[in-house]
Amino acid sequence: MKGKWLLILLVFIVILSGCTFPGGGGGAQTVSGNGIVITKFSPDFSEIRSGEPIMLTLSVQNVGGAVANNIVAQIFGGVSSGTGWVFDADTPPTKALTPSSLRPADPVNNLPGESLDYVWRVTSPAGLKVKTSYDAGIRVYYIYNTSAIATVRFYTNSYLKSLPQTQYQSLLKSAGVISQASSAGPISISFSTGARPLVIYGAPGETYALQITFNNVGSGNAIDPTSTPWPNSEYRNLYYITYTLKTNGLILNCPKQDGTQTGDTTSFSDKILLAGGKLKTVFCTIKSPGSAVINSQDYTINVEASYGYFVESKATINVLPVTQ
């Protein structure tokens, strides 16, 4: 029954990502993808006169593999509060969008991810004497998650030694990550067990390496999903993601962001910082399952990452003086 549910979970993640990746020998494989993308951000006119109103239209779509929640759009740059531009009261520069969540694509029924549009009404600065160009920037914030699963295979040395040499060599190469999958999103997750095969020799205290890599493959930046008020894009909140790891009995010991270790465990949670906003590899130690393995045994490692994320776009508006 446990194996049946594992298969269902793996198929679900494969549907989200569209791919599975063999990891023979522990080679890390990744899937790239985005969550929310800005498909349009533009004014209804590229050129207006000083003091005239204009509309800015935003269109976004969820093209990733998870539901996007808490979507907030924020106008910044030359067209923003305090720059002489006046926003209508019901379309402020920072706006929580409705609906506040967008579902992902449904490949089974051939349905695209949900999209939404929003329009700002804003009036250009009055009394300009010369033609002035303004850059209107837009940031779209949302909360997302990436789910990943890896299967690692152990062999006992006594079992491998009992096999013909060609079969021994073939199975030895598969002692490590034999499959992995990650749902599509701006943060991808991959697994590797390094160069040493997962072969149990029976020595006391036998351990193995496991690397879990979180990679920003999107076009924006991660932001701490627990920051308040949401979104809080102060520098101290940038590049943080939280994740939870669970195994089906495999014991790990992993470093945490605060410099401590998890200790021997089959599950834990942590908040980590992506270096330069791009990458973080967590170097864990696997404790040998020892006598629990008869000939060979597969174990699963599940990682669920939760994070805020934002993407940007810009448009230019030329404002002419009234007398021109």
The C-alpha atoms of residue 58 and residue 79 are separated, in whole angstroms, by: 14
Same domain, 287 and 231: yes
% of the chain at pLDDT higher than 70: 90
Using pLDDT thresholds of 50, 70 and 90, give the confidence band for residue 284.
very high
The 3-state secondary structure of the chain reads CHHHHHHHHHHHHHHHHCCCECCHHHCCCCCCCCCEEEEEEEECCCEEECCCEEEEEEEEEECCCCCEEEEEEEEEECCCCCCCCEECCCCCCEEECCCCCECCCECCCCECCCEEEEEEEEECCCCCCCCEEEEEEEEEEEEEEEEEEEEEEEEEHHHHHCCCHHHHHHHHHCCCEEEEEECCCCEEEEEECCCCCCEECCCCCCEEEEEEEEEECCCCEEECCCCCCCCCCCHHHECEEEEEEEECCCCEECECCCCCECCCECEEEEEEECECCCEEEEEEEEECCHHHCCCEEEEEEEEEEEEEEEEEEEEEEEEECCCC
pLDDT tens string 26-67: 333 333 358 999 999 999 999 999 999 999 999 999 999 999
Residue 8 belongs to some domain of the structure: no
Residue 12 has pLDDT above 50, yes or no: no
Same domain, 238 and 261: yes
pLDDT at 20: 36
pLDDT at 15: 40
pLDDT at 233: 80
Same domain, 163 and 295: yes
Same domain, 112 and 237: no
Same domain, 153 and 289: yes
Residue 9 belongs to some domain of the structure: no
Same domain, 53 and 185: no
| 276 Cβ contact partners less than 8 Å away, ≥ 6 residues apart | 239
pLDDT at 232: 87
Average pLDDT of the chain is: 89
Residue 7 belongs to some domain of the structure: no
Distances (CA, A) of 222 to 28, 207, 235: 22, 33, 11
pLDDT at 2: 42
For β-strands 47-49 and 296-320, DSSP reports them as parallel
pLDDT at 82: 82
pLDDT at 200: 97
- Domains in the chain: how many in total? 2
> In CATH, what number is assigned to the domain containing residue 64?
2.60.40.10
Residue 59 belongs to some domain of the structure: yes
Residue 94 belongs to some domain of the structure: yes
pLDDT at 268: 98
Same domain, 199 and 290: yes
pLDDT at 217: 95
Same domain, 159 and 84: no
pLDDT tens string 298-312: 999 999 999 999 999
Residue 8 has pLDDT above 50, yes or no: no
Same domain, 129 and 171: no
Residue 55 belongs to some domain of the structure: yes
pLDDT at 57: 98
The C-alpha atoms of residue 149 and residue 300 are separated, in whole angstroms, by: 7
Same domain, 195 and 316: no
pLDDT tens string 244-280: 999 999 999 999 999 999 999 999 999 999 999 999 9
Same domain, 139 and 197: no
pLDDT at 13: 42
Mean pLDDT calculated for residue range 227-255: 93
pLDDT tens string 79-133: 987 889 999 999 999 999 999 999 998 888 989 999 999 999 999 999 999 999 9
pLDDT at 197: 96
The C-alpha atoms of residue 130 and residue 231 are separated, in whole angstroms, by: 36
Residue 11 belongs to some domain of the structure: no
Residue 294 belongs to some domain of the structure: yes
* Structural domain span for residue 57: 36-143+311-320
pLDDT at 31: 30
Same domain, 284 and 180: yes
Predicted TM-score of the model (pTM): 0.86
23 vs 103 pLDDT, higher one: 103
